[in-house]
Amino acid sequence: MGKIFENRVISNNVFWYKTRITKHHRMQLTNQKPCVLWFTGLSGSGKTTIANKVESLLFNNKNLTYLLDGDNIRHGLNRDLGFDEHSRKENIRRVTEVAKLFVDSGLIVLVALISPYRKDREFAKSILEAGEFVEIYIDTPIEVCEQRDVKGLYKKARSGIIKNFTGIDAPYEPPLHPDIHIKTIKMSADDASKSIFSFLVNKGYINVR
């Protein structure tokens, strides 16, 4: 029959084709260690803002990158998904598989998603090779996120217009041991991005050019 995965059957007649050019070859070409920088935090915490700034620093350093933003992904690949727990899980699964392909191509992938459940972030880490998943917790108190409320989402959630909104009527499980912990009430977005860039240099993911 085939292997059952997430209530779907994967045929025994589907095989992984090993290409001649591997991730190792692409690493040599790009002179960087591909990885996923996974930005997690509440809506309005500053995930995408900081990820954007990190990507700009990497771009200026001549590194090859791609930013996968949660809202942008839901305009295309995940446009058919809602915000219930099952849909959130599938959202993470799809984004993770795309990120994995980008890592295989040699890129540094920046993923900015609320990704509220630890088990889903653990899944993302589990399908990548050791050292390829960098969990970045953008730690912003919910009252600060609500004060910002750039998109007006908290107001809608409080009034009941939006259901299953993280931090209001849906849970957020913060990372227990993130690789990088950014407390935005103590650090500006610019300083946070520089700190993350320095981490990548110190850990050997990139070289300063």
Predicted pLDDT at 73: 79
Residue ranges and CATH numbers for the domains of the chain are 25-202 (3.40.50.300)
Residue range 50-56: mean pLDDT, rounded: 98
* Residue 2 CB contacts under 8 Å (≥ 6 apart), including other chains: 9, 10, 11, 12
- Alpha helix segments (H runs only) across the chain: 23-30, 47-60, 70-73, 85-104, 118-126, 142-148, 153-158, 189-202
Q: What is the pLDDT of residues 164-175, one digit of tens each?
A: 888 898 899 999
Per DSSP, 75 falls in state T
Q: Which residues are catalytic?
A: 115
Closest to 119 in 3D by CA, of 168, 42, 77, 176: 176
Q: How confident is the model at residue 8 (pLDDT cuts 50, 70, 90)?
A: low
Residue of 120, 135, 140, 122 lying closest to 46 (CA atoms)? 140
pLDDT band at residue 10 under the 50/70/90 scheme: low
Instruction: Go through 129-162 and write b for each residue having 16 or more CB atoms within 10 A of its CB, e for each that does not.
Output: eeebbbbbbbbbebeebbeeeeeebbeebeeeeb
CA atoms of 158 and 192, how far apart (whole Å): 30
pLDDT bracket for residue 18 (50, 70, 90) = confident
Residue 4's pLDDT is 43
Q: How far apart are CA 171 and CA 164, in angstroms?
A: 9
- pLDDT tier at 98 (50, 70, 90 boundaries)? very high
Kindly indicate the confidence band of residue 9, based on its pLDDT and cuts at 50, 70 and 90. Answer: low
Q: How confident is the model at residue 14 (pLDDT cuts 50, 70, 90)?
A: confident
* pLDDT digits 0-9 by tens, 104-152: 999 999 999 999 999 999 999 999 999 999 999 999 999 999 998 888 8
